[in-house]
Chains A and B, each alone.
Chain A
Amino acid sequence: MPAIQVDGVTKRFGDDVTALQNLDLTVEEGEIYGFLGPNGAGKSTTINVLLDFIRPTEGSATVLGMDAQTDSVAVRQRVGVLPDAFHVYDRLTARQHMEFAIESKNADDDIMALLERVGIPEAADRKAGGYSKGMAQRLVLAMALVGEPDLLILDEPSTGLDPNGAREMRNIIREERDRGATVFFSSHILEQVDAICDRVGILRNGQLVAEDTVEGLRASAGSGATLTITVDEPTDAAVAAARDVAGVSDVTVRGNSLVVSIQDASKTEVLTAVENTGTDVKDFSTEKASLEELFAAYTEGGRDGHRDGVQQEVSQ
């Protein structure tokens, strides 16, 4: 049984805004699924459908095998949620927030242990009205962890967190997965996703444009790598030789270096070709395409246009 199953969900607001278009999505039990996309792609709309905050125009969704609409209370009993655009209760302390979550879920968690886990034990008895965005985020994460949920749904969990806080967030996500929970989280920032996601889905304009492991996405997007070769003199012949190697998509000259974009060529072949023109190779380095570039490749390029070599079928 998948933790989340979205079947053909379309959501229109009014007559002309289509937030989701026939979205199919499956999140398997026990995985960390990163749900990526630029702002406005429909990530929060999807999460709101799963929580029954909004109702799909067409299609349906199940969470932990239960219908997201008709069994919503039962769903939320077993799911921990960090929603988007929430606001804490200004007059309640962190402890009182936790008490309410524990009471609501009929759980018996240790409040201080959870607050320590998210890093705000010192704020336990302070009113949440004075919290920073990051502290509020940590508090609601602690509420989401109440009752050892089978599934965590986190909407942009690192919002408002500094790099250190974001790392702690990732650790908690990993710990929860290792405990046996499924984690579904959305983000428009990619750098943090790479390290922790078992699978990634990329949403654009309300449609899933890619779904795979990070490695799989990188391979199928053909983003390859960049080879930088430092030479004594970047001659035209050397540039031409590098460009002629099969699998090289672009060569530019930057100072004393050739910057070679490789799709799937071997760097040895490129180096050999350059050396064969009589050029003296002093140094070289390779860089894998960053996930940022990969993400940009999937999500940029016009609202409805698709970049060559980037569009791919969604693989389950």
Chain B
Amino acid sequence: MSMMAVARKDFRDAARSRRLLALIALFVLFVGGLAYFFADIAGTGADEGGFALVISLLVPTAILLPAIGVLTGYRAVSNERETGSLKILLSLPHSREDVVFGKFLGRSLVVTLAIVVGFAVGGLVLAVLASSFPTVEYVLFTLLTILLGVTFVSIGVGLSSGIESENLVVTIGIGLVILFTLLWQVLLLAAMLILDNFEIGSAATQADIVTFLAVLSPRQAFLIAFSAITPADQNVNAPGGANVDAFWLQDWFGFVVLAFWLVVPLALGYLRFRRADL
């Protein structure tokens, strides 16, 4: 199948360029290092067991993944378009659909492999150092992390497909990384201040608006979705008065938001790419 041929080639290219190796090394250091830090140095594991350690990995992961995912995907199509290798690719019997989704699959596999290896090493560290190791939850957490990583790859590849100018792609890509790691929180704060300042709605309504806006970010959606794995209450840090029973603070809504970010940017990018003159 043609899409798989494109995906395989893209994955092999990543392996050849050592991009894959660099990403695996990064995840091994990151997850392994964090696991070691929390289990041994911070000493969390001794008292609370392995699950607390898994939770301590959660936020750093949510911060790292947008950059990894977007930056892995965002030049997938635009770079080939800019250099002219896309003409070789499309001279062969591949459709534009094959190119966009094949690239998405190839890059997703790169990120997935890096996450799996990194989390395997991290799991090993935890299993050795912590008093207990929650295998099932850890595997589910790894799967959820893969979902988040692939979601950001989708955003990156969608951007790469939808916009012709590589400079613009790079600028927007870096902007998106900043948005998802930092800016979204700043904007939430701004929203909170504005709502408060102009006394829009009751305190409870304001809190609801802010938690809703927070959950729309893939990173927060990931944290919400994580509560599906754990019996512990891992809801967002709801501002005082927020309705924790609101539907957007339930774990399933986290998956809905992630699904949106997984599908929509890539679909939009593909639709633009399909119509484009190359």
Q: Which residues of A contact B (CB under 8 A)?
A: 13, 48, 51, 53-55, 72-74, 76-77, 81-89, 91-92, 97, 100-101, 103-105, 140, 143-144
Among residues of B, the one whose C-beta sits closest to the C-beta of A91 is B16
Candidates B85, B92, B95, B277; contact of A101 at CB < 8 Å: B92
Q: Of A55, A72, A104, A105, which contacts B277 at CB under 8 A? A: A55
Nearest-neighbour CB distance to chain A for B77, whole angstroms, equals: 14
User: How many contacts between A and B, using CB within 8 angstroms?
Assistant: 71
Q: Is the interface of B mostly helix, strand, loop or mixed?
A: helix
* B17 within 8 A of partner (CB): yes
B240 at the interface (CB under 8 A from A): no
Answer whether residue B2 sits at the interface, using C-beta atoms and an 8 A cutoff.
Answer: yes
Where the two chains meet, the residues of B that have a C-beta atom closer than 8 Å to any C-beta of A are 2, 5, 9, 13, 16-17, 83-85, 87-88, 90-95, 275, 277-278
Please name the residue on chain B nearest to A153 by beta carbon: B91
**B91's contact among A51, A55, A89, A92, by CB below 8 Å, is which?**
A51
**Which one, A53, A84, A105, contacts B92 given CB within 8 A?**
A105
A contact patch SS:
mixed
**Which residues of chain A have C-beta atoms less than 8 A from B9's C-beta?**
100
CA distance A172 to B105 in the complex (A): 38
The answer to whether A104 and B92 touch across the interface, beta carbons within 8 angstroms, is yes
- Contact check, A54 vs B278: say whether CB atoms are below 8 A apart: yes
Does the CB pair A87–B84 fall under 8 Å? yes
Q: Which of B2, B16, B83 is close to A104, meaning CB atoms less than 8 Å apart? A: B2
Indicate if the CB atoms of A100 and B5 lie closer than 8 Å: yes
Closest-by-CB residue of B relative to A76 is: B93
Chain A: minimal CB distance from B95 (Å): 5
A53 with B16, Cβ < 8 A, contacts A74-B93, A83-B88, A87-B84 known: no
Nearest-neighbor residue (CB-CB) of A89 within chain B: B85
Is A85 a contact partner of B84 (Cβ separation < 8 A)? yes
Given A72-B95, A73-B93, is A103 in contact with B88 using a C-beta cutoff of 8 Å? no
